Amino acid sequence: MDVLLANPRGFCAGVKRAILIVENALKIYKRTIYVKHELVHNQYVIKKLRKKGVIFVEKISDIPDNSIVVFSAHGVSKKTKEKAIKKKLIILNATCPLVTKVHKEVSKASEKSIETILIGHKGHPEVIGTLGQYNNENSKIHLIESIEDINKLPIKKNNTKLNFFTQTTLSIKYTQSIIKSLKKKFPYISGPKKEDICYATTNRQNAVVKLSNITDMILVIGSKNSSNSNRLAELGRETGVFTKQIESFSDIKEKWIKNIKYIGITAGASAPEFLVKQVVEYLQKMGAKKPKEMLGTKEKIIFNIPRYLTLPSHLKNYE
Ligand code: 0O3
Ligand code: SF4
């Protein structure tokens, strides 16, 4: 069996930044760090941080006053931020800068009373945070998840003050078809030049399409609540290649790989590389050849952490 590794795969710049913020905060403050929601949607990342003493909460009210809180990479609503301020929490914001960019645009639309449509998945923390940037008594933000939802929108066809935005981790193909239908129904709608789907989502989805051309099975490493990982698995299946999403190597069933000649591996933006290595080791134990890295888009983007969270030299090698 040949093993092909997708490129790019795994951690994106937003996830790396969020993890570094928490790890450095632990070293600098030497106090309990609370994180609102899972910092990123990966079981192993969360487990590791929990071991270091990080406490994950869903509600700000569960955090004692004057504590340190980190907002997860998916971002929070304005109301959540206000609650944290009221409790006199020290806020460390690990929201990905690309999510913050959407927040700012939605907030601007709200201030200008521009009716807004957000394309995204109901209940996802990023969507909750983005919807929560809009607060206007005279106009509204509406969430749509599908093309079918467009016809249910209580918006006049020739509304000229209408905007749309998207979640950052959606399926590129499906989102484009939603936007096309939106533009058909609302000819005066405006929105981002492409959509708000980020570079990392785009590159990882393109890499899966490439994998699908040369493999007869794809393994996607990523937790069940990870939207971008779910989209990779969905895309794999759409290409017609047998695709399975796994948390780690221990989910792999021998019967899946029995007659497979070319197996592709990828990982969602929140899945650490050590999980890929474990899968490769497992496959090699089952007789697979040495893995080959596929060529793909090189990602050079780095998001800096706030200056006050960079480590002083005496803490740099501290583990
Ligand atoms: O948004 P998603 O469920 O994909 O989140 P993950 O798995 O934590 O990955 C990072 C992406 C993110 C923070 C939002 O863009
Ligand atoms: Fe940021 Fe994109 Fe990563 Fe989300 S997937 S954290 S938007 S870089």
Q: Is the CB of 13 under 6 A from ligand 1?
A: no
Rounded mean pLDDT of 18-43?
98
Q: Please, which residues have CB within 8 angstroms of residue 141's CB and are 6 or more apart in sequence?
A: 106, 109, 110, 115, 116, 117, 118, 131, 134
pLDDT at 317: 63
0.95 surpassed by pTM:
yes
Using the predicted structure, report yes or no on whether residue 193 has a pLDDT greater than 90: no
132 falls in which pLDDT band (50, 70, 90)? very high
Distance in angstroms (rounded) separating the CA atoms of residues 22 and 19: 5
Atom 14 of ligand 1 has which residue's CA nearest to it? Answer: 74
Model confidence over 71-104: pLDDT tens digits?
Answer: 999 999 999 999 999 999 999 999 999 999 999 9
Which is catalytic among the residues 126, 137, 293, 299?
126
Would you tell me the crossing angle of helices 227-238 and 199-214 to the nearest 10 degrees? 30
The rounded distance, in Å, linking the Cα atoms of 168 and 73 is 12
To the nearest whole number, what is the mean pLDDT of the chain? Answer: 97
Closest C-alpha to 7, from 209, 249, 176: 209
User: Going from the N-terminus, what domains does the chain have, and what CATH number goes with each?
Assistant: 2-10+199-293 (3.40.1010.20), 13-95+306-315 (3.40.50.11270), 98-185 (3.40.1010.20)
- Which of 40, 100, 225, 230 gets mutated to test ligand 1 (max ligand atoms within 8 A of its CB)? 40
Mean pLDDT throughout 26-37?
Answer: 97
Confidence band of 24 (pLDDT split at 50, 70, 90) = very high
Q: How far is the CA of 134 from the centre of ligand 2 (A)?
A: 21
* Residue 37 labeled ligand binder: no
Segment (H or E) for 262: strand 262-267
Which long-range contacts link 26-34 to residues 24+ away (Cβ below 8 Å)?
26/52, 26/53, 26/54, 27/311, 27/315, 27/318, 28/309, 28/311, 28/312, 28/315, 29/68, 31/67, 31/68, 32/67, 32/68, 33/68, 33/70, 33/92, 34/63, 34/67, 34/68, 34/69, 34/70, 34/89
Is residue 96 in contact with ligand 1, taking CB distance under 6 Å? yes
